[in-house]
Amino acid sequence: MSLATTYSPTDVEAKWYQRWQEQGFFKATPNPKKVPYTVVIPPPNVTGVLHMGHMLNNTIQDVLVRRARMQGKEACWVPGTDHASIATEAKVVAQLKEQGIAKSDLTREQFLSHAFEWKEKYGGIILEQLKKLGASCDWDRTRFTMEPDLTDAVLRVFVDLYNKSLIYRGVRMVNWDPEGRTAISDEEVIAKDVQAKMYYLRYEVVAASSKLQATSSTQQQSLQPESESLWLTVATSRPETIMADVAVAVNPHDPRYAHLAGATVRIPLLGREIPVIFDEYVSMDFGTGALKVTPAHDLNDYELGVKHNLPVIDILADNGTLNEKAVLYVGQERFAARKQIAKDLQEAGLLEKIEEYPSIVQTSERTKAVIEPKLSLQWFMKMEHLAKPALDVVENDTVRLHPPKFKNMYRAWMENVRDWCISRQLWWGQQIPAYYLPDGTFVVALTAEAALAQARTQSGNADLQPSDLRQDEDVLDTWFSSWLWPISVFDGFKDPDNADINYFYPTNDLVTGPDILFFWVARMIMAGIEFRQEVPFKNVYLTGIVRDAQGRKMSKQLGNSPDPLDLIAQYGADGVRTGMLFSAPAGNDLLFDMKLVEQGRNFSNKLWNAFRLVKGWEVDATLPFVNEKAVFWFEARLQAAIIELEDHFEKFRMSDALMTVYKLVWDDFCALYLEMVKPTYQHPIDAETLRHTTAYLETLLKLLHPFMPFITEELWHELAERGPREYVCVALWPKASAPAAPPRILADMEKALSIVAGIRAVRNQKNIGPNKPLALVAKTDDAALLTEFDGIIRKLGSISEVSFADAGPAASVSFVLGGSEFFIPLEGHIDLAAERTRLGKELEYAQGFRESVQRKLGNEKFAQNAKPDVLERERQKLADAEVKIVALEKALAAL
């Protein structure tokens, strides 16, 4: 036999992946004779390389797709990448910098040329890595969010929504990345825990009412500890923004500040007077209860400013330096200015104190820069109109979330949806199709030619030339392309009635992380309903975050994330896939442990060795069929497992699905069935047993294939001669059928196997080797069962003889099953004296423990004051101790 003695993944994985592709098994075309099954990949960034999250996500997708393919469906898994505006532009700018080229030295066209060159060189790396994992994507369908047809789709959608008055341009508060110099979306903002500083600044109060002049001496003392002036202390974490202050707000119910009605205060150092305003928004128990209002640099302050009709002063330039409106510290970087202003305030006697406190800062996911809330002229999309139907379809389970607990999160976001800032101050991306006329007005059109015609009509100036129009410099948010993904990958905007979109849309299952449930999943649902009047998918399987054994999110910075390709090289793709899935329940974080991958590799080896065992048997056609009971039993176990497996798949319990097949193979097939039927060493097996065993093995390979594609394909072709396209990859998925065996035989078989389990438990407890022969003495009314299954019990339990008695022999240990008791004599197998000593010590400890619990329960004070659940636990401890003592006394008596 040519099969190697040990399984070597590297020898088979590349071979079979190449053959699958050569045979075209992953390709999908509209086929009216088949039911479509469609999955679109969450497009990884072109800047990305394979990480553990990708491994989990794409393994689950591949399991679903491979199973669907084997079910006879037209399985279509569409791969692709996302252009990732901010991340890619940062990569290209950094590369150019290494070459001595600044972005500012290039035209837009020159920069884009460099960017596309970078994308062609590095953008497909992650897709090639997914092939190592075994991902069975239709690679001929690979899409890119900035390819011409998908860009055209984005522009068409923008124009359509603008014409529907759902897109507008305006000044609003955004998340501003001073390093990337662009607005970014909420999902690109990462909150970080920090130890921050709170600065207590002294604002001089300017008398502006008779009420203030009549301030009591007590109030004056609290406001002006060191001078004749009155002072108002304001706490802030951002002293560099005081030059943008336009008011100080206090709560109208705060008695400390009731006398400040109509007053103004002077901004420290700057001296500009600003009013004191009253608003219930201000918390009386945070800081000093007085809030500096800076509408240009805080969202809540902005809303407060709108409410009180306050001016807006923006003192920060796009790069995070202070601009001329700050008057002071102009040109200084914001954090450098913070240090300087704190020093100057201290010297001027205007800094009362500095306190440290735990806080959260918002940072850019891509550049790591601290985000600035900033008023900015941007393009926005109204969301309320689109959100309601997208909420309804999740509420009524037209789109099902797995697990359903995420419905509440989804609802909370959708019911409080905010308009979407869709513009980015970058060059890499789809340029906004808005064209400005010389007078500052603009038109929105799909092309420059259409814009010119529209501008001539709008302005009444037929002489306008292309040079008179200037296209908006900004590009659209990357998510504005990916929200169209399930439609655009099938060219549903280019040709809304093409064969692909009509056949493959809506897709079936989406696998993604809950962190983008709102920002991608919800928006895709909106787009599907708006542009196809149909949801884009039926199920959303939400994976957890891959964390290390300490519960920390895996990251390169922490150094706790292994390289997935290194894992595949060491343990094999099948080992890694199963290792990831062993503890990957939907929606719950996966605590990754290398032992799981080792377990996956061990499972591969177990399967390999079981296969070698079966293939190594010699067959004798003249032998009678002697393993009918074992065959009947495993057939029943197999059919029960298929039913259980289908239920897990239906409910998207992927980890449970794998464990069902794992236990079927490891426990039922390898540990029990093969041990029952394997012939004595160097003896042949009967033909009927081998036929059934080979058929079972073939079925197991089918059930395992979605989880472990490589080893199953290898063994499939070793198991029998196959035709040119007879691969397990496209073999028919097993369906459950009724067991052929009478129920009585199956029930009796389970009883016999319970006896074997009891024997094996004794071996484990007494550290007796699995092959050392033991005797079995039975006290039972069902001697017929032991007679009927004598061969199986002897074989699986390594029992040399079975006898019957009314009592157990001396020096034996027993176990009880139903109304029967079984004894195993231990003399000659263990050191009886040492065992008596060990059991005696255990008994002494158990008795002492029982007494301590009895004393506690007998303590009247404890009994009266303890909570009911505490009392119940103590009573349970006592009951457990009693049971253990009886068992130990019985064991000692037997010895």
pTM: 0.84
Q: With 0-12 CB in 10 A as exposed, 13-18 as middle and 19+ as buried, what is 560?
A: middle
64 pLDDT more than 90: yes
3-class SS shares of the chain: helix, strand, coil, % to 5:
50, 20, 35
Q: What is the pLDDT of residues 597-617, one digit of tens each?
A: 999 999 999 999 999 999 999
- 745-825: CATH topology is hypothetical protein PF0899 fold (3.30.2320)
Q: Is the pLDDT of residue 213 over 50?
A: no
pLDDT band at 869 (very low <50, low <70, confident <90, very high): confident
238-292: per-residue pLDDT in tens? 999 999 999 999 999 999 999 899 999 999 999 999 999 999 999 998 889 999 9
- What is the band of 820 on the pLDDT scale with cuts at 50, 70, 90? confident
- Which secondary-structure segment (H or E) carries 856? helix 832-858
- pLDDT band with cut points at 50, 70 and 90 for residue 816: confident
Residue 682: what pLDDT?
87
Residues near 67 by beta carbon (within 8 Å), at least 6 away in sequence: 649, 706, 733
Q: Which residues are annotated as a binding site for ATP?
A: 556
What pLDDT does 221 receive?
37
Q: How far is the C-alpha of 778 from the C-alpha of 10, rounded, in Å?
A: 51
Buried b (16+ CB within 10 A) or exposed e, 513-543: bbebbbbbbbbbbbbbbbbbeebbbebbbbb
Q: Residues 857-873: what's their mean pLDDT?
A: 85
Q: What is the pLDDT of residue 710?
A: 98
Rounded CA separation 131/135 (Å)? 5
| CATH superfamily assigned to domain 564-741 | Isoleucyl-tRNA Synthetase; Domain 1 (1.10.730.10)
| pLDDT per residue as tens digits for the range 554-577 | 765 667 778 889 999 999 999 999
pLDDT > 90: what percent of the chain? 68
The amino acid sitting at 364 is S
Tokens of 118: 């970078």
Positions at the binding site: 556
* CA-closest candidate to residue 488, choices 159, 78, 153: 153
Nearest C-alpha neighbor of 248 from the set 308, 299, 198? 308
- In this structure, are residues 700 and 637 in contact, taking their beta carbons and an 8 Å threshold? no
| The predicted structure's pLDDT at residue 112 | 96
Q: How far apart are the first and last CA of the chain?
A: 51
* Helix ranges, 24-107 (H): 52-70, 85-98
φ, ψ (nearest 5 deg) of residue 653: -95, 80
Angle between helices 654-663 and 573-581 (to 10 degrees): 120
Q: At residue 219, does pLDDT exceed 70?
A: no
Q: Which CATH number fits domain 182-373: 3.40.50.620, 3.40.50.2000, 3.50.50.60, 3.90.740.10?
A: 3.90.740.10
- Taking residues 120-143, report their average pLDDT: 94
**Of the listed ranges 165-169, 190-194, 331-335, 684-688, the one predicted with least confidence:** 190-194
Could you give the CA distance from residue 12 to residue 814 in angstroms, rounded to a whole number? 49
CA 614 to chain centre: 40
pLDDT of amino acid 1: 46
- What is the DSSP code string of 393-420? HHHTTSSEEESTTHHHHHHHHHTT---E
Q: In this model, does residue 218 exceed pLDDT 50?
A: no
Asked whether this chain's domains 564-741 and 832-894 adopt the same fold, the reply is no
The band of 741, judged by pLDDT with boundaries at 50, 70 and 90, is low
The 10s digit of each residue's pLDDT in 357-408 is 999 999 998 788 999 998 889 999 999 999 999 999 999 999 999 999 999 9
Does the pLDDT at position 212 exceed 60?
no
Per-residue pLDDT at 226: 40
User: Given this model, what pLDDT does residue 227 score?
Assistant: 39
Instruction: Assess contact for 812 and 692: CB atoms under 8 A.
Output: no
The least confident of 26-40, 108-122, 148-162, 197-211 is 197-211
Indicate the domain borders of the chain: 182-373, 564-741, 745-825, 832-894
CATH topology for the 832-894 domain: Helix Hairpins (1.10.287)
Predicted pLDDT at 228: 43
Q: At which residue do the structure tokens 């897990």 appear? A: 648
CB 176 within 8 A of CB 183: yes
**356 contact partners, CB below 8 Å, separation of at least 6:** 195, 196, 197, 198
Q: What is the mean pLDDT of the chain?
A: 90
Q: What is the pLDDT of residue 783?
A: 86
Distance of alpha carbon 238 from its chain centroid, rounded?
35
| Cβ–Cβ < 8 Å for 253, 247 | no
Contact (CB, 8 A) for 173 and 375: yes
Instruction: State yes or no: pLDDT of 828 exceeds 90.
Output: no
Q: What φ, ψ does residue 14 adopt, rounded to 5°?
A: -60, -40
> Measured in whole angstroms, how far is the alpha carbon of residue 375 from the centre of its chain?
33
**What is the rounded distance in angstroms from the CA atom of residue 772 to the CA atom of residue 830?**
12
What confidence score (pLDDT) does residue 894 get?
Answer: 66
Residue 223 has pLDDT above 70, yes or no: no
